[in-house]
Amino acid sequence: MLGRRLFGALCVAAVGVVAYAALAWRPAIAPIDPPAPQSFAPDKVAKGRMLASAGNCATCHTAPGGKPFAGNLAMPTPFGTIYTTNITPDRETGIGRWSLAAFERAMREGVARDGKHLFPAFPYSHFAMMTDDDIGALYAYLMTVPPVAAKTKPNTLPFPLDIRALQAGWKMIYFKPEPFRPEPAKSEAWNRGAYLAEGLAHCGACHTPRNILGAESVGHPYFGAEIENDWWALPLHVTFSPQSWTEDELAIYLRGGTTIHGRAKGPMGPVIQGLAALPDSDIHAIATYFGDLIRPHSGRPEALTAEVLARSRGQTGAMADRGRQLYYAACASCHDDGGSTPLATRMDLMLSSALWFPWSNNFVLAVLDGVGGPTDAPGPLMPGFRDALSDEEIIAIGDYLRRDRLRQPMWPSYAYKVDRMRDHPPKPKESNAR
């Protein structure tokens, strides 16, 4: 009896394995001779260059100090390190022998030319939405960049996560390759913005939280997520600063990286640098899309803005508080602008997203490492205070700003975070050529 049941169970399992293997198996696409760069129309190549910039292909596919697109950037994931591949047209180590069909399958389905499944650290689930025309332009551009011979380093994913065939199961659950579907009820600009943000620019790859299997949460789009090197990709569905984000403000931020809410820094810096290739109309379109999504500050934003700004202007009394003393000694010369309108270049920290956000990460990283490094959005510099202030002093300043100025509760595990982030300095990616 037991024997029969066991036999039955084994049969079911075997059928399951065979069925899975059949689904997981993808054929290789025949290699081709690398097409001659001159075979691509110059305007197609130019468009591909623009799209590659906005899609941050080089940001991920270039190692620190390495040749553009030659890969080997280490991408730490909760499961292990994945190295990006060489997407220059080198015959042996790059994608030189990939046909357009092979490239398109990789972009739409996350399957390499030889049929192996690619890991979702490659944001193909976003790229899948792109039009044939845009994918063709990217292919044309990549086939004309200088080929570089560079073998991709082996990943350090532990068994069994290193088995690529398992990715097929992941895809079955979490991924449907679908072209972008416009919302007929929305404007043309909104739809253009949605197409760019959801597809090529893959904003959700950072800003949407992921489940334990690393898939973006469908129910919580743009709810914010703690990503690489302790940075928080802030939520894009709500405003934390009392001065609410508007469509215009978003357009200014996406174009130049600086607003009264702060500067694009950490992993957001290269995003702004990459978007620089897009025309103003596309930037406005993305702003229209997120302007529609983002809710204003709850409560009484205008009154609250006036109140917190007044609080930062009227601070001249006794300096008994240690955090306050330190703030006036180290920060106020740049951050208390004294004028009546907030300025982006001498930003009043009372409007800063980093300070209002309920986790201290981005505030601590800005104070330790400064703002305006090579990968940040351009603008005036703020020096890093890593060597100038002790943990205890940074804690006192944050404490003063949160409690006295914002009248907000202290950040949870703040002291622990200051300590940890100092011990594990974030390693910013090098500025990559594109």
Query: Alpha-carbon Rg of the chain, whole angstroms?
Result: 24
Q: Which of residues 171-230 bind ligand HEC (CB under 6 A)?
A: 197, 201-203, 205-207, 227
Between 195 and 253, whose beta carbon lies closer to ligand HEC? 253
Q: How far is the CB of 7 from ligand HEC (least distance, A)?
A: 38
Q: Which of residues 229-248 bind ligand HEC (CB under 6 A)?
A: 231, 233-234, 236
Between 267 and 313, whose beta carbon lies closer to ligand HEC? 267
Stretch that binds ligand HEC, among 114-122, 179-187, 403-411, 421-429 (CB under 6 A): 114-122
Between 231 and 359, whose beta carbon lies closer to ligand HEC? 231
Stretch that binds ligand HEC, among 1-9, 24-32, 326-334, 402-410 (CB under 6 A): 326-334
Task: Locate 398 and state its tokens.
Answer: 């944050």
> Exactly one of 281, 316, 333, 340 binds ligand HEC (CB under 6 A); which one?
333
- Size, binding site for ligand HEC by CB under 6 A: 72
Q: Under the criterion CB under 6 A, does residue 69 sit at the interface with ligand HEC?
A: no
Q: Under the criterion CB under 6 A, does residue 305 sit at the interface with ligand HEC?
A: no
- Which SS3 state, helix, strand or coil, does residue 316 take? coil
Between 61 and 405, whose beta carbon lies closer to ligand HEC? 61
Q: How far is the CB of 416 from ligand HEC (least distance, A)?
A: 18
* 77 phi/psi in degrees, rounded to 5: -125, 165
Measured CA to CA in angstroms, residue 304 lies from 7, 308, 351, 432 at distances of 70, 6, 10, 41
Whether the Cβ atoms of residue 355 and residue 408 lie closer than 8 Å to each other: no
Whether the Cβ atoms of residue 421 and residue 365 lie closer than 8 Å to each other: yes
Q: Is the dihedral of CA 154, 160, 163, 167 positive or negative?
A: negative
Q: Under the criterion CB under 6 A, does residue 105 sit at the interface with ligand HEC?
A: no
Q: How far is the CB of 300 from ligand HEC (least distance, A)?
A: 19
Measured CA to CA in angstroms, residue 117 lies from 110, 112, 145, 426 at distances of 6, 6, 25, 30
Q: Which of residues 371-430 bind ligand HEC (CB under 6 A)?
A: 371, 379-380, 382, 385, 397
Q: How far apart are CA 60 and CA 70, in angstroms?
A: 10
Q: Under the criterion CB under 6 A, does residue 331 sit at the interface with ligand HEC?
A: yes
> Exactly one of 62, 72, 84, 273 binds ligand HEC (CB under 6 A); which one?
84
Q: Measuring CA to CA, which residue among 95, 87, 77, 78 is closest to residue 31?
A: 95
Q: Which of residues 337-366 bind ligand HEC (CB under 6 A)?
A: 344, 347, 349, 352-355, 362-363, 366
The runs of H, that is alpha helices, within 25-118 are 42-54, 57-60, 100-109
- Tokens 């990943």: give the residue: 155
Q: How far is the CB of 6 from ligand HEC (least distance, A)?
A: 37
Whether the Cβ atoms of residue 405 and residue 312 lie closer than 8 Å to each other: yes
DSSP string, 333-347: HHH---SSS--STT-
Between 93 and 313, whose beta carbon lies closer to ligand HEC? 93
Q: Which of residues 8-67 bind ligand HEC (CB under 6 A)?
A: 52, 55-57, 59-61
> Exactly one of 29, 50, 63, 87 binds ligand HEC (CB under 6 A); which one?
87
Q: Under the criterion CB under 6 A, does residue 264 sit at the interface with ligand HEC?
A: yes
Q: How far is the CB of 219 from ligand HEC (least distance, A)?
A: 20
Q: Under the criterion CB under 6 A, does residue 261 sit at the interface with ligand HEC?
A: yes
- Work out the number of other CB atoms within 10 angstroms of the CB of residue 197: 23
Q: Is the dihedral of CA 133, 135, 136, 138 positive or negative?
A: positive
